[in-house]
Structure 1
């Protein structure tokens, strides 16, 4: 059956399989968890909770494949990644249908922002495989020549989240394979469907064992991160998950690559184009139901325009609809799962008495995890809604009166992934670009990403870079070779 045809009756649910050494392999454990469509709240598949034997087998396959994969030339790896990109595009309909059943995202958003963008990013990584650079060979000691080798680091374990399942997979797999590593990857147990399709496609192109897929829960992820085989473990996820992974990996002195979320400040000055800023910020905060670590959710606005701007922001947010409505009328779909829906609802419902709920703050419809566009003002810097990553369609508004105060408020959180500034003052742009403590600073825009530029933050947002040549370099190691003359 295709993903469009599968029955949702519990007796008809398929149990998904791992993909190890190029073959679909049932998990050795009998335990499963239901994969729920967040639009209907009905199960659509069963995800196995893979155990130690499964993880061991996947890592063994990756280790064996690495012996030959690491010796492939950049040109050979490029050709295979280009073929993989073409295959992702060719299977776009299947990937979209699969992913929509476990994320509830709008079909056209999956197609445009994950399948097509993901294929484009695979093509970038294919090119990046051929442009490694380093110090020139030379004589740095009398009678000896030195050169630098940039090498793949080995087998890589990777864990990706549920907010953009296919795109986050490509962000991890693309640079790892381009650099000559082999991969064992685990998707979220709530969104494994597009990963299973990708694994099948990839293993029709790549040599067996180069890309392996393990399905399971957080416990399975801990087996991946605590295993002695990988040379690096990469995760995109929560701070708690990242901290746990780093602790597990540290026991084997394994390198870690973490992208752990954000709480992006969006600073709007009085000289900004108010309507344009309000429209862009509403879209940047509500896209994908706010389930984006770079979402424009923490709005800081200069006091002299605060009332006018906030009214415009509320108006634009209310125009971006969600719910069990025709897709062409919706801007975003449901929150991913019941637990997350409750967490978003709880933090909004627990807002302090001094906060003003300007719009939203409630469920939309009777079925599905749809949450209304929400704007809250009157908050203080130490409120949970300011300090905690909500990861939902919730925008907060705070006022400031000076550049220094705006910077202090913007930097006054534990996250440091992305930020934006909205102003016509070039000198202010230069100062804020320097002083904002975030891995990305957008100017008069928000949430745009390109393959050529790095993505990654500081502080509790983690370390390491996705995308760009820096992302590929993160999956390499440096070796010094010195020869006597």
Structure 2
């Protein structure tokens, strides 16, 4: 006897719909390796319908005064709190994440971020009006860009959806968002929440649309003629493809891509405290975080002591079932990701040493042990490429110059951290590190008021903060003759 799979559907113009051609794909719970739902495999007809709905809803949404859009976002935030347990259950099943951690580490910041952008809706700032040519006054208008095609990733499907829709809606845009084909459940639930709020407050439900599908669905969204902007959080390869596709009609592009965060540990660091914080920042969410603390550079004078302490911390870190409150992280998201992480370990060079972990855990699901690898060189694959798993690598450096060179010596440039008690050194390092974020004596905290985004192959554009809000607006110059 087989259990019937739950049916997820697209949300287009206020209605839940199957794909026009009826195609579906199975959605697997990574904690069990078993399918629990089906989701639409959306094609051109579905993308057309969603884009048309967003385009039709745009004029009225754009023309609302900011205070009205703020009311909608504040109501959405309230509804997220009211329906938190539903969101937690959906995300846990989506990703295999521990329930307690979704409750404590994802729901509160998401609600806060929505409320932040609700406030940002009323802060459309521009330079002061003035006369820059005799007889004329110039003013600046800040306007929404239009329909936004947004593609969210599978590592934080619920939170990344918030990072995309909240600033877009606050600025007056309408949205078509696609979750990853492996994690659509929480985004479909978000559609139900937002749709009900829009309906209650008398706005078109076409303001927010969700279509499920695969890479081809995302390509169709980016290449569609209606969106004025394409936003993606994903791999470098996906970002390059989006940028290339969007260039054909000069769409705006917002890219948050991979990372390979250096964690530079100097000899004056409080080793027990650093190890505790770095291990959490490296293993949280199974290391499936573009900012994860997975590439440690430690001064040679404390290298052996640090590695031993980090290996001990790894051995004491627990992965397991979603209802176990003692686990730090759940499984990798999908079978392909498990294969990728295993591949990095299998291809380690002879000079590398596995200090802890290095193997799959359990006989079902996609769990992988907390891993520490030492003895690595700068040009090793595992140092240069994003693993996106619970694997921390360690290299030994001799001086500050070498630390900077190695820290910057990768193609990614999203986040980094420096661990030292020397204030002047911390300031020098924060200047020299070529990354969008530099943490000092901490790693991974984020706040709604501060920007998140990288350089180089980590993409461009900012999430969160007023800078993230600005990315969803355009600037118009209006000049008036004073001659009447």
Given the two structures, how large is their TM-score scaled by the length of structure 1?
0.97
Corresponding residue number in structure 2 for 1:118: 110
Aligned residue number for residue 100 of structure 2: 108
Q: Which moved more, 1:206-215 or 1:281-290?
A: 206-215
Q: Quick one: which of 123, 147, 154 aligns to 1:162? A: 154
Supply the distance in 1 between the matched residues of 2:383 and 2:6 (Cα, whole angstroms): 42
Alignment of 1:303-452 (within 5 A): 303-324=300-321, 327-452=324-449
Question: Matched residues in 2 for 1:10 and 1:479: separation?
Answer: 59
Whether contact under 8 Å (1:165, 1:194) holds in the other structure is yes
Please tell me the root mean square deviation across aligned C-alpha atoms, in Å. Answer: 1.0
The match for 2:470 is 473
**Contact (CA 8 Å) 2:29, 2:94: kept in 1 or not?**
yes
Shift of the 121–278 alpha-carbon distance from structure 1 to 2, 3 Å rule, reads same
Q: Identify which of 5, 23, 26 aligns with 1:34.
A: 26
Count how many residue pairs are aligned between Structure 1 and Structure 2. 477
Matched position secondary structure for 1:33: strand
Q: CA separation in 2, counterparts of 1:241 and 1:466? A: 18
Picking from 33, 46, 54, the partner of 1:54 is: 46
Aligned partners of 1:62, 1:325: CA distance in 2, in Å? 36
Q: Does 1:23 align with 2:15?
A: yes
User: Does the 8 Å CA contact 2:96/2:322 hold for their aligned counterparts?
Assistant: no
Which one is further off, 318-327 or 255-264?
318-327
Which ranges of 4 or more aligned residues in structure 1 deviate by more than 4 Å? none
CA distance in 1 between counterparts of 2:98 and 2:231 reads 28
Q: Is the 8 A contact 1:185 1:212 kept in 2?
A: yes
Deviation at 1:317, TM superposition (A): 1.7
Distance 1:365 1:392, change over 3 A: same
Judge conservation of contact 1:44–1:102 (CA < 8 Å) in 2: no
Q: Show CA shifts across 1:217-237 (max 9, x none).
A: 011000000111111000000
**Structure 1 residues 326 and 195, CA gap change in structure 2 (3 angstroms):** closer
Partner-residue secondary structure (3-state), 1:408: helix
2:132 is equivalent to residue 132 of structure 1? no
CA drift of 1:270 comes to 0.4
Work out the CA distance in 2 between the residues paired with 1:106 and 1:205.
Answer: 29
- Report the Cα offset of residue 435 of structure 1: 0.7
Return the offset for 1:324.
4.4
> Given the alignment of the two structures, is residue 79 of structure 1 paired with residue 58 of structure 2, yes or no?
no
* Whole-Å separation in 1 of the counterparts to 2:475 and 2:317: 48
Q: 1:179 maps to which residue?
A: 171
TM value normalised by structure 2 = 0.97
Does 2:279 correspond to 1:282?
A: yes
- Matches of 1:178 and 1:344, distance apart in 2: 38
The residue matched to 1:380 in structure 2 has which SS? coil
Which whole-Å CA distance do the structure 1 matches of 2:82 and 2:242 have between them?
35
* Partner SS, residue 21 of structure 2: coil
Q: 2:233 aligns with which of 233, 236, 239?
A: 236
Where structure 1 has 5 or more consecutive residues not aligned to the other structure, the ranges are: 1-8
CA contact (8 A) 1:295 1:447 kept: yes
Shift in alpha-carbon separation, 1:30–1:325, aligned structure 2, 3 A: closer
CA distance in 1, matches of 2:170, 2:322: 41
Q: Which residue of 2 aligns with 1:91?
A: 83
- Where 1:156 maps in the other structure, the secondary structure is strand
CA contact (8 A) 1:38 1:104 kept: yes
- Segment drifting more, 304-313 vs 10-19: 10-19
Matched with 1:4 is none
Residues 62, 155 of structure 1: 8 Å contact kept: yes
Q: Map Cα deviations across residues 184-237 of structure 1 (whole Å, 9 max, x no partner).
A: 000001000011110001001123110000010011000000111111000000
Residue 139 (structure 2) aligns with: 147
Task: Check whether the contact 2:289–2:388 (CA below 8 A) recurs between aligned residues.
Answer: yes
Query: Who is 2:249 aligned against?
Result: 252
SS of residue in 2 equivalent to 1:205: helix
Contact 2:163-2:463 at 8 Å conserved across structures: yes
